[in-house]
Chains A and B, each alone.
Chain A
């Protein structure tokens, strides 16, 4: 492979895989599940090419456990999954967070509970953003809306995982992982697993290191863990605001849904309706700062592919529970730009009921 700086046409899933390699990831353990299997397929040949390790594991549980072991040894390590498989990762993610080790998990959302189905969905927002495992932890969560941003945020995920010594989840979906777009991939960067302070390599003539929950060895763990995540919430909010300054209605959407909403904003503006969009890029921490001082006359419309409004709750909280929040959901059937425009029309003509009222 000889990618230079030029753009290449890639599937989103492959962009995650290649960007991970370029970010210095040299360990991947995972299990096939649609729509993320392309990550395994890509890394099955790409990891050996760069001297890394690829393991097709017996389960997602084994995959995250191997990532735990590799991360403990200073490696940049990753696993990926979707739907039911992502549920199986939660115990391991909790252990890795409790031990304060870095790793990256790609969650390629499909729709539905139980077996669900392999098509696009955003119904794993709460599980991903509100710590799906047990205990007192959070994971940073990044939600790209294009193949380019998928590559960029994959690289950022590895950096932030190490900066905060915490798992980072890259949250995309079936459509972003399956569609092809041109993307400029990051330059290859090296990673020396001997450098991180936490890297196990044998105690040598020194003292031994142990990786277990840091609560066992910290005098003031309670204050420490609260401040750790407060700091992340202050410093790591990311979002994009589009035409929000004079907006009468602001849409809120992440990932693929935000692509539709961008188009809806453009069409609405062309029709004389002042509509804007806030696109959260970090979902944890949720970009509350984006909502400061905004008070659109008609309120907020959260557009997400889940029928039981999930992110809408975070929008309501970001607005201090003092503004009208509407939702537009999708499930087995999903919305398109016209559906979003229809909802906007309903809100402007006061025909739609809010999900969170004043």
Chain B
């Protein structure tokens, strides 16, 4: 069997077995290399499981503060408009502590690409409740299951972003090869939006976290298709080409 991987991924990733981050990392790496954008790519990596990436993902990058990757990416893009700038963030980072920076990058329609990994919890710190945690979901800080009466409902950030003028919004999953291919096409279009200076592009990826969900990797994927996708529907939700 021939095993090849993008050169950008110069070291094995450090994620838990069955984690979706490794697949998302690989999809971004493939897209950057296929387009040649890897040579002019600048990344802002978030804090959380994303902060493994400076050790394994070989593009020019900044380790952003927790929640601030979108703002750091804006600073980079406005300084180097010729570069391909992306932020890579998890759900605690982008939607809890960083919701302001996340939304304002979208509101200003900054010409950056944001890849957002939704695995329903704070993975790096051991599985606490995140803004994306499903109602009733047990986490280490919602031991009785998330109670929307006191913690609010799962946050669908794409619905928020649809209220402002952005270039591209999509949500994909990693549940089987077809879903992975579709997610790759979404990420590819998000970088295309930047390349054509269409504006802000955001792709949410529903991603398994078997370690903290306390499920097998296969059960985690089934859980996403049967339960998570009902709360966070897949598809494209804004497309600059459709506006014209």
A194-238 vs B, CB cutoff 8 Å, 1 = contact: the mask equals 000000111111011111110000000000000000000000000
B27-47 vs A, CB cutoff 8 Å, 1 = contact: the mask equals 000000000001111101000
Which of A72-80, A111-119, A145-153, A251-259 has 4 or more CB atoms under 8 Å from chain B? A72-80
Task: State A73–B71 Cα separation when bound (angstroms).
Answer: 14
Given A69-B44, A92-B65, A92-B68, A200:B75 Cβ within 8 A: no
Contact B71 A62 (CB under 8 A): yes
A58 at the interface (CB under 8 A from B): yes
Contact B59 A211 (CB under 8 A): no
- How near does chain A come to B9, taking the closest CB pair, in angstroms? 12
B42: chain A residues at CB < 8 Å are 73, 200-202
Contact B79 A69 (CB under 8 A): yes
A200: chain B residues at CB < 8 Å are 42, 60-62, 76, 80, 83
B72 at the interface (CB under 8 A from A): yes
Given A65-B65, A210-B54, A210-B60, A55:B74 Cβ within 8 A: yes
Task: State A212–B50 Cα separation when bound (angstroms).
Answer: 13
Task: State A193–B78 Cα separation when bound (angstroms).
Answer: 13
Given A62-B101, A203-B59, A69:B39 Cβ within 8 A: no
Q: Which of B59, B72, B84 contacts A68 (CB 8 A)?
A: B72
Q: Which residue of B lies closest to A56 (CB)?
A: B108
Task: State A66–B76 Cα separation when bound (angstroms).
Answer: 7
Q: Which of A61, A95, A210 contacts B61 (CB 8 A)?
A: A210
A260 at the interface (CB under 8 A from B): no
Q: Which residue of A lies closest to B74 (CB)?
A: A66
Task: State A59–B102 Cα separation when bound (angstroms).
Answer: 12
Contact B78 A62 (CB under 8 A): no
Q: Which residue of B lies closest to A194 (CB)?
A: B80
Q: Which of B41, B78, B84 contacts A53 (CB 8 A)?
A: B78
A59: chain B residues at CB < 8 Å are 100
A99 at the interface (CB under 8 A from B): yes
Given A59-B100, A65-B101, A68-B62, A202:B83 Cβ within 8 A: yes
Task: State A61–B40 Cα separation when bound (angstroms).
Answer: 27
Task: State A39–B58 Cα separation when bound (angstroms).
Answer: 38
Query: Which of B58, B71, B104 has most A Cβ within 10 Å?
Result: B71
Contact A203 B39 (CB under 8 A): yes
15 contacts between A and B (CB under 8 A): A61-B100, A65-B72, A66-B75, A66-B78, A70-B75, A72-B72, A73-B83, A74-B79, A77-B75, A95-B64, A95-B65, A193-B80, A200-B62, A202-B60, A208-B59
Sample of 19 more A-B contacts, CB < 8 Å, known A66-B71, A68-B65, A69-B77: A55-B74, A58-B101, A61-B71, A61-B100, A65-B72, A66-B75, A68-B68, A68-B75, A69-B62, A69-B71, A69-B72, A69-B76, A72-B72, A200-B76, A202-B41, A204-B40, A211-B61, A211-B63, A212-B54
A residues adjacent to B (C-beta < 8 A) = 27, 29, 53, 55, 57-59, 61-62, 65-75, 77, 91-92, 95, 99, 193, 200-205, 207-213
